[in-house]
Amino acid sequence: MKSVLVSEDHAIVRFGITAIIRDILDPVKVVEAADFDETIRQLSEQTFDLLILDINIPGGNNLQMISAVRLRQPGIRILIFSGYDEQMFGINYIQAGADGYLEKHAPEEEIRRAILTMAEDGKYLTPGIRTRLLDHHGHHGHPSSPEAANPLLALSGREKEVMLLLGKGMSVMNIAKTLNIQVTTVSTYKSRIFEKLNVNSVIGLAEMIRLYSN
């Protein structure tokens, strides 16, 4: 019997995902976690075949979540289930060690296909992420590459995390606490983000996020 851990802070989303899992993987054991601390506790207490992980849950919200999960269960399959745009964030989480990435607003049919594929084959990459991976390993930085059309794609995974929090109006100090890094490090990221995106204010940054992250 397969064992699945659903790590998601919204109860209605957990309910929906759990219902889909029970429908397509029966018989299956499903355990739920509402924050990252509970996720880690469950991973420490029992073995799972698959983790469906929201990357923006309380106690988490960064790429290091993947390493923390792998430290406890190296063989677990990780499907990132995120409200963040796949084109912006998908490749960073795949490169960090996740086995799949799926946007929350994907059609139910695609959610079913992703979970089933992960349970059977261990990997789920959308055509968009496959293209990004090929581009990244091939003609990265070429004028016709996605980065030329969307400057946000030129940012690293951590830079994107800092960018989104800045765009939400968070202070450098609060971002440092949220991501568990030094204030000076956040300031460095902020300067680098402004330089790469050619903006000079948080308002300008927020406008760029609005234009390019949809």
Distance from the Cα of residue 206 to its chain's centroid: 20
Higher pLDDT, 31 or 142: 31
pLDDT at res. 61: 66
* Interatomic CA distance for residues 140 and 152, integer angstroms: 14
Question: How is residue 16 written in tokens?
Answer: 């929906």
Higher pLDDT, 201 or 126: 201
E strand map for 77-152: 77-82, 100-103
Question: How is residue 49 written in tokens?
Answer: 């075949």
pLDDT digits (tens, 9 = 90+) for 30-71: 999 999 999 999 999 999 999 999 988 888 767 788 889 999
- Would you tell me the crossing angle of helices 157-167 and 183-197 to the nearest 10 degrees? 90
CA atoms in the 13 A half-sphere facing the CB of 186: 20
Is the alpha carbon torsion for 199, 93, 142, 187 positive or negative? positive
pLDDT at res. 143: 43
Which range of 35-39, 93-97, 152-156, 192-196 scores highest in mean pLDDT? It is 35-39
Question: How is residue 205 written in tokens?
Answer: 């940054």
pLDDT digits (tens, 9 = 90+) for 1-19: 999 999 999 999 999 999 9
pLDDT above 90 for 136: no
DSSP assignment letter at 124:
B
* Interatomic CA distance for residues 55 and 9, integer angstroms: 10
Domains contained in the chain, CATH given:
2-133 (3.40.50.2300), 150-212 (1.10.10.10)
Mean pLDDT of the chain: 85
pLDDT at res. 20: 95
Put simply, whether the predicted model's pTM sits higher than 0.75 gets the answer: no
